[in-house]
Amino acid sequence: MKRLLRGGTVINGSGAVLADVLLDGEKVAAVGRNLDAAGAEVVDAAGMLLLPGFIDAHTHFDLDVCSTTTADDFAAGTRSALRGGTTTVVDFACPNKGESLQYGLDLWHRKADGRCACDYGFHMTIDDWNGQIRAELPAMFDAGISSFKMYMTYPAMMIGDRDLFEALTAIGELGGIAGVHCENSGVIDALIARRLAAGETGPGSHPLSRPAPLEAEAVGHLLRMAQVAGTPVVIVHLSAEESLLEVRAARARGQKVYVETCPHYLLLDDRVYFQEDYSAAARYVCAPPLRKPTDCSALAAALSADEIQTISTDHCSFTLAQKDAGRDDFTRIPGGLPGVETRGTLIYSALAAPGTLSLSQMVRVLSEQPAKLYGMWPRKGVIAPGCDADIVVYDPDADTVIAAADQLSAAGYTPYEGFRTRGSIRSVYLRGTLAVDRGQVLEDRLGQYVKREKPIFF
């Protein structure tokens, strides 16, 4: 079937142009002025922004954390994603220590296959390192996995400097990319122990035991290891201004370093943790924690200066009842925020509409650059002939207010309650099919696994 989106403004990472977009089946067939509408259903897109479907390269659906499971499984999470204009997610397959990568990959396929509303791929978590896991890496690339995740904190996940270095080296040799959670584990453990010993068990102790310098230290530590390994890395969910200083230093040495941040580090700050009401504070617990308002503005400035390449959500949702597990001990609060549905609208409203980011810059961090880094370019991340017809139709005049009651996530709350948006999503096409229209998800089982190629380093 052919569809002609007529007269919208097509925004790509490379620029904006007033044009028609012709969809033919699952692909974009043409972009240009006054395209021939013969045989096509014509959709009036005058006054609309036509954006490449958003890619959220950091989600956690159906994940066991802190003896509980995220509120959103793949069905709920990808429906929520799609409604928010995200046509592709990259989730983290996560084998436990002692399990093979293939076991983890099979498990994540069982969680996701046949249940997803948007397209999906997996990063592979490496939380164990030995000769067998090293030997599995080429098979992972063959299975469409070209990016790997490692942790410098969390005992269940971290592998230590020696193994982290060996894994970085091996991933680099194979042409892949590593994303790393950077926080200094040992000092955080010491600070947590102090607060618990002092009886300071509330959510306010969470940010106080994970201060920004301990993220920056780990970023610098990782980047020095990556320098020796010669491997490009992504600093996932970078939250602090001090961490940016480490990134700048590594780039000045000539290293390839990519930075991901998240809407909550741009729009929220750590004052929320110091509310009297437990539930009001605990809902914001995530790691790294929310930072200071000065960090939020430093991240916005870094985005504006093209120092940050991707904005993902780290969507990891728990209900307030689940968050209750930490009433007597903040370390038992399951960490993570919902956000997969609101990312595009928030970034447009808070950064693009006010002019902090150009529309093309916004498309680069939401779509183009995640597509390149995670091996999906140019199939995804751009509106151009031959690419997947994943398109967000954004109405810049349809302002709205974000409310939990209007969200599809099973979290039951949104960190952005009451946020006034600038415009909103009118409709979403997933590979040529109208999948969301005026807030209604029309198709919720069309998501396909994306077998990803190697990263394009830029």
For Mn ion, the closer of residues 45 and 410 by Cβ is 410
Q: How far is the CB of 4 from Mn ion (least distance, A)?
A: 40
Q: Cα 388 vs. chain centroid, distance in angstroms?
A: 20
Looking at the Cβ atoms of 20 and 314, the one nearer to Mn ion is: 314
Q: Which of 272, 381, 440, 438 is nearest to 51 (CA)?
A: 381
CA pair distance 348, 54, nearest whole angstrom: 12
In the structure encoding, which two tokens stand for residue 97, read together?
A: 């220590």
Nearer to Mn ion by C-beta: 151 or 394?
151
Q: Which of residues 416-455 bind Mn ion (CB under 5 A)?
A: none
Instruction: Give the whole-angstrom CA distance, residue 269 versus residue 264.
Output: 8
Between 119 and 314, name the residue whose CB sits nearer to Mn ion. 314
Which residue blocks in 198-292 are alpha helix, DSSP H?
Answer: 205-208, 212-229, 241-252, 263-267, 278-282
Under 8 Å between Cβ of 290 and 206:
no
Q: Which residues contact 288 (CB under 8 A, 6 or more apart)?
A: 183, 210, 212, 215, 237, 239, 240, 265
Q: Per rule CB under 5 A, is residue 56 in the interface with Mn ion?
A: no
Nearest to 415 by CA among 325, 312, 315, 331: 315
CA 445 to chain centre: 21
Rounded to the nearest whole angstrom, what is the least distance from the CB of residue 222 to Mn ion in the complex? Answer: 16
From 7-15, 214-222, 308-316, 444-452, span contacting Mn ion (CB under 5 A) = 308-316
Interface mask (CB under 5 A) for Mn ion, residues 180-199, using x and -? --------------------
Per-residue contact flags (x/-) with Mn ion for residues 257 to 296, judged by CB under 5 A = ----------------------------------------
Cβ 179 to Mn ion shortest distance, Å: 9
Q: Which of 91, 314, 390, 444 binds Mn ion (CB under 5 A)?
A: 314
Give the residue closest to Mn ion by C-beta: 314
**Segment near Mn ion (CB under 5 A); pick from 9-17, 93-101, 203-211, 310-318:** 310-318
Q: Is 66 left (phi over 0), alpha (psi -120 to 50) or beta?
A: left
Residues 6+ apart with CB under 8 A from 303: 261, 266, 311, 351, 356, 357, 361, 365
Q: Omega before 263 cis (within 30°)? A: no
Distance between CA atoms of residues 15 and 297, nearest Å:
25
Q: State which residue, 92 or 348, has the beta carbon closest to Mn ion.
A: 92
Region near Mn ion per CB under 5 A, out of 42-50, 257-265, 311-319, 405-413: 311-319
Nearer to Mn ion, 90 or 272 (CB): 90
- Taking the complex as a whole, the smallest distance from the CB of residue 60 to Mn ion amounts, in Å, to 6
Count interface residues toward Mn ion (CB under 5 A): 1
Cβ 393 to Mn ion, closest distance in Å?
A: 30
- The distance of closest approach from Cβ of residue 85 to Mn ion in the complex, given in angstroms and rounded to an integer, is 21
Nearest approach in angstroms of CB 39 to Mn ion is: 45
Q: Which stretch binds Mn ion (CB under 5 A): 139-147, 172-180, 194-202, 313-321?
A: 313-321
Which of 247, 283, 245 lies closest to 264, judged by CA?
Answer: 283
DSSP annotation string for 43-82: EE-TT-EEEE-EEEEEE--S-EETTEE-S--HHHHHHHHH
Which residue, 60 or 372, has its beta carbon nearer to Mn ion?
A: 60
Task: Specify the residue, 314 or 341, whose C-beta has the smaller distance to Mn ion.
Answer: 314
Choice between 125 and 369, CB closer to Mn ion = 125
State the DSSP string of 134-173.
HHHHHHHHHTT--EEEEESS-TTT--HHHHHHHHHHHHHH
Task: Work out how close the CB of 88 gets to Mn ion at its nearest, in angstroms, rounded to a whole number.
Answer: 17
| Closest to 50 in 3D by CA, of 355, 386, 394, 345 | 394
Q: Which stretch binds Mn ion (CB under 5 A): 151-159, 314-322, 383-391, 433-441?
A: 314-322
Per the structure block, which two tokens stand in for 403? 């409310």
Residue number, 128 or 314, with CB nearest to Mn ion: 314
For the CB of residue 59, give the shortest distance to Mn ion in the complex, in Å: 8
Residue placing its CB nearer to Mn ion in the complex, 94 or 359 = 94
101 vs 421: CA distance, rounded Å:
41
Q: Which residues contact 124 (CB under 8 A, 6 or more apart)?
A: 92, 93, 101, 104, 105, 140, 145, 147, 148, 149
The distance of closest approach from Cβ of residue 355 to Mn ion in the complex, given in angstroms and rounded to an integer, is 30
To the nearest whole angstrom, how small is the minimum distance from the Cβ of residue 314 to Mn ion? Answer: 4
Residues forming the site for Mn ion (CB under 5 A)? 314
